[in-house]
Amino acid sequence: MAKITYVEYGGKEHVVDVAPGLTVMEGARDNDIPGIDADCGGACACSTCHVYVDEAWLDRLPPKEAMEEDMLDFAYEPDPRRSRLTCQLKVTEALDGLVVHMPEKQI
Helix, strand, coil share of the chain (percent; to 5): 25, 20, 55
Instruction: Evaluate whether 75 touches 107 at the Cβ level (below 8 Å).
Output: yes
Where exactly are the structural domains of the chain? 2-101
How confident is the model at residue 54, as a pLDDT? Answer: 98
- The pTM (predicted TM-score) of the whole model is 0.97
Question: pLDDT digit string (tens) for 60-73?
Answer: 999 999 999 999 99
For the domain with range 2-101, which CATH number is right: 3.40.50.11900, 3.10.20.30, 3.40.190.10, 3.40.47.10? 3.10.20.30
DSSP alpha helix (H) spans, the chain = 24-30, 66-72
User: How much is the pLDDT for 22?
Assistant: 98
21-66: per-residue pLDDT in tens?
999 999 999 999 999 999 999 999 999 999 999 999 999 999 999 9
